[in-house]
């Protein structure tokens, strides 16, 4: 039994796929197997993100943006600023008492 499905693809992809029409079923089968194999090693969250990326719901950050964000995403702690005056916790306690 076979089923016919309609798929919208960009024009440039359609041009590339047209000569491969006899192999579409095999291409889809292999692509699905590859996608399922790669998805099985991912967390559920990453699987959903990957699905959103492939459907265009989200756009992955470019590598250059990731490099810019790397120093801020490190696990090292930032040295706290030393400021004078009363600690914020004491100010809050005083204001609650009013």
Give how many domains the chain has, as a whole number.
Answer: 1
Residue 87: inside a domain? no
The string of pLDDT tens digits covering residues 2-29 is 899 898 988 999 999 999 999 999 999 9
Residue 52: inside a domain? yes
Residue 59: inside a domain? yes
For the chain, report the end-to-end CA distance as a whole number of angstroms.
78
pTM: 0.41
Q: What is the pLDDT of residue 47?
A: 79
Q: What is the pLDDT of residue 15?
A: 93
Sign of CA dihedral 62, 67, 73, 74: positive
Residue 54: inside a domain? yes
The string of pLDDT tens digits covering residues 44-83 is 888 788 888 888 888 777 766 777 777 666 666 777 788 8
Residue 51: inside a domain? yes
Residue 62: inside a domain? yes
What residue numbers bound the domain in which 59 lies? 43-67
Residue 9: inside a domain? no
């Amino acid at each position: 039994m076979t089923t016919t499905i309609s798929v919208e693809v960009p024009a440039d992809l359609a041009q590339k796929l047209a000569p491969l029409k006899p192999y579409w079923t095999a291409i889809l089968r292999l692509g699905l197997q590859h996608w399922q194999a790669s998805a099985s090693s991912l967390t559920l969250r990453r699987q959903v993100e990957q699905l959103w990326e492939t459907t265009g719901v989200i756009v992955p950050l470019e590598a250059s943006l990731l490099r810019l964000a790397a120093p801020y995403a490190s696990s090292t702690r930032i040295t706290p600023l030393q400021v004078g005056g009363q600690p914020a916790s004491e100010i809050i306690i005083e204001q609650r008492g009013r």
